[in-house]
Structure 1
Amino acid sequence: MHTLQVVFLTVMVFFVIVTIHEWGHFFFAKRAGILVREFAIGFGPKLFSVKRGETRYTLRLVPAGGFVRMAGEDPELVEVQPGQTIAVRLNGDKVTRFYLDRLDERSNVLRGEVETIDIENRLRLTMNVDGVSETYSVDPKALLIAKGKETQIAPLDRQFGSKTLGQRAMAIVAGPMMNFVLAFVLFAAYYQMAGVQLENPDHLLIGDVLPGKPAAEAHLKSGDVIDSINGTKIGIDYDKMIAMIGKSAGVPLTIGVIRDGQPLSFKITPQLDPSSGEGKVGITAAFPTRPAKLGETFTLAGKAMKTMTVSIIQGFKNLIIGNFKLDDLGGPVRTAQVTSQIAEQGITELTSWAALLSLYLGIFNLLPIPALDGSRLLFIGLEAVRGRPVDPNRESMVHFIGFAMLMLLMLAVTYNDILRLVRGEH
């Protein structure tokens, strides 16, 4: 597979997994009537930004996730205060725009000093214009304009906090839920592409042929039947094949295969793999398969979800009890490196890996760690028990501290990933 194609597929895996997660938040927030200010992929400085309707869609520099910014999820900043001189633009008797700076440059506006303003409940503005007190209604989609930025006001009924516990919980849990749905669909697609292993196989096949390795240079192909090595029949003895190749680093081997019913032999010299100290030719073995039936496709996808979920949770358990080293953790760099390696093996293996990443992202986001979806669900649960919400400022501070800690951890593992790449480790 060409390098450009590998890079494209690697980027697409991350883009699809993060986008489907954020789309879950976005869809159920909009369905509940919440104003969604921004739908972002990535963090940090904006690379691309476009506004459609009420929402700004952005692509940001750091590809370490994304976010959907809902009005009222964090405390709203009320930028207009009594005594402040502003300019407003009217459509009939309704205020559609508030201008908070550069007032002399605004045309077709009304200037005055704010006496009272309520842009959350009553949607009313009383302003002193040339010594006369005037009251205006405010359009529920009016814009606040300052420092070149437009911010749509959020009446209380458009804010996250005004919605029922169920609506808020659904808007939060929908992100991980969509990752689980995507993982299931991708696992099902994988079994449709890879098939199901035969119950009583009598031979091994060459699965993947890694580019640039001895097997690829000798023109072995995926799907070839592995018949023999140096005249010794292999049958279905995978361990025998690995052992014979592993002991022959730098020593030529004759590998016999059957292709399209015709026996062929290839002279191949295994390369020494520094990490294992054994010879490698750059192939994976696979058992013969049959097409998966529709019903068993769903069954197998469900089993894969269960198995991988148990494995991921066990990994988190080891992390919590401290049974890990920094090298066991991987950040975006290491994940991208592994994804690109799997992309080289073909779309089938990449589909399985993408399913695993989507499942991992869904589970990880449900952990009760500040700034993650699990933490926000925890605060909603506390509100249900207490009968009243936690102070929004305190909740925001918890999430801010949690986000900062996550970013520090991300920097640490990314730095470690880069050192590993420099040292040539995998």
Structure 2
Amino acid sequence: MKTPVSLIVKNCSMITPEFEIKENQSVVINEDIILAIDSVETVEAKYEAKETLYGDGKLLMPGLVDAHTHICQQFLRGRTADEYPMVWARILVPFESSLNEEDVSTSAQLSCLEMIKSGTTSFAESGGVHMHKVAEVAVQSGLRGAITCSTMDQGPFIPDSMKSNPFEAAQEIESLYQDFHGAGDGRIQIWFALRQVMTSTPALIEHMAEKAKEYNTGLHIHLSEHRDEVSYCLQNYQKRPAEVFDQFGALGPNLLAAHSVVLSESEIDLLKERKVNIVHNPRSNFGSHGFPKTPRFMQNDMPIGMGTDGAAGSSLSLFDEMRVLRSGLNVYWGLPIFDPMVIPAKDLLKMVTAGGASALMLKEQIGSIEVGKKADLVLLNINQPHISPSHKLINTIVECATSRDVEDSIIDGKIVMKNREVLTLDEEKIMFESKKALKPIAIKAGI
């Protein structure tokens, strides 16, 4: 008698945890867990599924993890390109301060829709306004997410509506935690946050770090994104940014440090010692901030995730982020020393899967296709002239695959997209409402 199960992905190629390709595999899913991985014949003989996804001509890979994004900035697309630095102070933060709940809800729907259609199954949201609306939409969408609120308590360019003292900031996140932590069958985590060092007093840094430890949850920050942070810290603390955060208790294994670009050698050693999770945002960083010391992080065996940094300057495609990081680091670090292996393809795939899982403190649950892990998976159509045939499919996926090649998405064992149709969100309605909302939001924000 065959064992009944929820779902079988039948006869696909598959990326193994070692980032090799295994062909003619079937993956058995029961509820939210990967139950078995075996040959097509063996699975067919042992299991009977309520639902089947056919993998012929497709590659099964772990769902991508966007480890640093800004969901509230979806309506800034195309607005921040060709701008001088400090865009976040002049445009991003003032824009966010103008948003109402309906704006944020529409932005979240559009963002979640784009993430699903781009192969992303999990995300870390670094905080904006009205984040209960983001959490509501994330639950509806089926995505897995770590969500927080923006916290700032100083800075002459920060609108008063975006500032709150340490205790008010903590109360807002604690309220969000009570309402949404563990929502969506455990898919939603609520974290604490610090926007960045220049907008945080020592009291805010200490309080957020303490609260994250108290609630046994994550702390999401922007770290060493640009040189202004370094200058500010040297002038005010006679220390560099990572050292300042360490002084006030923020560095630890629950810390997600987005960007991590302008770090000194001693700061990298400090981050390794504190087991901090590094997240790069290539398109954002290369456009205005510089090239991270990624080879050093890799040599130190430090976990590295990758994020899109939101849609303001680009898209929510982690496939594009991989390509940009590979090209940029090859030019900056590899070309001067004739080293084409400065960042191998499999390490890039690791960043957008297992590295992101580590950043979200979920490395035991997601990030690779293994028995016992959560079924967060995507299927790529590889039977296309820009992908097949290929001598090394891993290399080709990194160099050639796009978001449009993602045909099916499974999150927590449930199909959320099938044949490019998102099943959890109304794409036609979201696109109509988003186009209608863009101009009024821009006028209200003065951009």
**TM-score (ref. length: structure 1):** 0.26
**TM-score (ref. length: structure 2):** 0.25
More strand, by proportion: 1
Higher relative contact order (CA closer than 8 Å, sequence separation 6+): 2
Radius of gyration: which is bigger?
1
